[in-house]
Amino acid sequence: MKKKIVTCCLVAALLVIGVIGASLAYFTDKDAKDNVFTTGNVDISLQENFEQNSKLLPATGSAQNGTLENGVTKEIMVKNELKSEDAYVRVHIAIPSILDDGASTFDAKNNVLHFNYDPDSIGAGKWDWSRTSGAPYQGDWNFYTTTIDDIDYNVYVVTYGTALKAGETTLEKAMHQVYLDSKVTNADITKIKEALGDNWEIKVVAEGAQAAGFADAYAALNAGFGVPGTYDAFAK
């Protein structure tokens, strides 16, 4: 369900105008499944293929060579709705920090919960996990931390390099699958449940900004919303 929250949009528009001195605010949209912030005529929606309450079991095999077992499908796409302006989009993916090593080393071997994506989903005009356009994401993850309902989260931001026309959906998926590390023990699970309970949540927010007048997705989205980490996409 999407709700238009005009008050928030007006505040955002005033902030943008104050900074750049322009006569018009940028058209932006934000979808977090249950709420949307929008100004102008950009209208996006978050598309997911995920079975709620999926059961996690320690994985076997390898995601890299295609032999992974016990992975849970969590596919994330973004659609630019009909009658919308051409738009650049990005996605914020929040994972409880107790499950993810994050900025301490960015070493996946230390993660309890892993996420992966199709190698063909990254590259020129596709999804980019880096802080700046064209930079290699290794060591340059677009990343920040936040706290939601008293739980600490690591947030990864992935930006789609091609502007979507009205009615188009990202051809590639921002995320493909999540799975539990094979080394996780019952003692680990007990400790994590004390912090998170029985239900572990990955939270996702999608943002869209007008493409017109901007050189690339990073310029458009950073102008419309700010640089990730200088604001919290999950703030209520």
pLDDT at 50: 81
pLDDT at 173: 94
* Nearest-angstrom CA–CA distance, 89 and 207: 5
pLDDT at 28: 58
Domain-located, residue 12: no
pLDDT at 21: 27
pTM: 0.82
pLDDT at 137: 59
Domain-located, residue 14: no
Q: What is the mean pLDDT of each run of 10 residues along the chain (236 residues)?
A: 27 23 47 52 88 80 79 90 92 94 84 89 92 71 94 95 96 91 89 89 91 93 94 88
* Residue 7: DSSP 8-state: H
Choose among 119, 118, 117, 115: nearest CA to 181. 115
pLDDT at 223: 93
What are 130-138's contacts with CB under 8 Å, separation 24+?
A: 131/228, 132/218, 133/159, 133/161, 133/216, 133/217, 133/218, 133/219
Choose among 120, 116, 119: nearest CA to 71. 116
Domain-located, residue 134: yes
Domain-located, residue 168: yes
Which residues form the domain of 89?
47-206
63 in Cβ contact with 71 (< 8 Å): yes
Phi/psi for 29 (5° steps) reads -150, 150
Environment class of 180 (CB within 10 Å of its CB; exposed 0-12, middle 13-18, buried 19+): buried
> What value, to the nearest 5°, has the Cα angle with vertex 95 and ends 203 and 92?
55
Number of domains in the chain: 1
Domain-located, residue 131: yes
Domain-located, residue 10: no
209 in Cβ contact with 88 (< 8 Å): yes
Domain-located, residue 54: yes
Domain-located, residue 78: yes
